[in-house]
Chains A and B, each alone.
Chain A
Amino acid sequence: SQQGEEDPQALSIQEGENATMNCSYKTSINNLQWYRQNSGRGLVHLILIRSNEREKHSGRLRVTLDTSKKSSSLLITASRAADTASYFCATDSSGANSKLTFGKGITLSVRP
């Protein structure tokens, strides 16, 4: 079963606008990660936030984590057409041998 579930399933915005994507999960985690996938390609890691962190930034990306609500959000500021892709959250809830559980993904379309 999926651990992380993203919301919305699809998002369409105008270039220059901000995009906010949400992820909810069910069990306690060690960390939560966001990945991007361009059409026909492999996933690319964007950012990792640990369970003891509340917010992290990387360039135009801002991720927050609320462990009390078991949720995370990914904000992409000043979006560009090149940000058009699918975005996945993944949670690490494992013990000694780390493995991730991925959500089903959010399709982001940025209109020029």
Chain B
Amino acid sequence: DAGITQSPRHKVTETGTPVTLRCHQTENHRYMYWYRQDPGHGLRLIHYSYGVKDTDKGEVSDGYSVSRSKTEDFLLTLESATSSQTSVYFCAISSLGETQYFGPGTRLLVL
């Protein structure tokens, strides 16, 4: 597996609280992505990064923000969590922007 980790792996939080998920890579890949996976929807892109401090929105970016201050870390923040953000979140990395390597996922439950 590519050197990619996600933390935390599981989180339960309450509506209205801020939540930050971390993706960490040891591969020095340029591209990093955040997806959410929900039954019936497959994987949907939230935000992605094409370099340090270079990020852009994906298909379902509302309610999420990201930051990438160094190559190895890509943070996803839910400013004020809602129940609709209960999901499994996957981080992925890519060196050339083609093949993507996925992390193990973070299960988030917003009560």
A interface with B by C-beta (< 8 Å):
2, 31, 33, 40-45, 48, 88, 92, 97-105
Contact = CB atoms under 8 A, between A and B. Distances in A.
Interface of B: 31, 33, 35, 40-45, 48, 50, 56, 58-59, 90, 92, 94, 96-105
A45 B4 CA distance: 14
* Interface residues of B, dominant DSSP: strand
Nearest to B88: A40
A42 B104 CA distance: 5
Contact of A104 (B41, B96, B101): B41
Contact of B42 (A33, A40, A92, A105): A105
Contact of A100 (B40, B56, B100): B100
B77 to A, nearest CB: 20
Contacts of B44: 102
Contact of B97 (A44, A97, A101): A97
A2 B41 CA distance: 8
Which one of A31, A40, A43 has the highest number of Cβ atoms from chain B below 10 Å of its Cβ?
A43
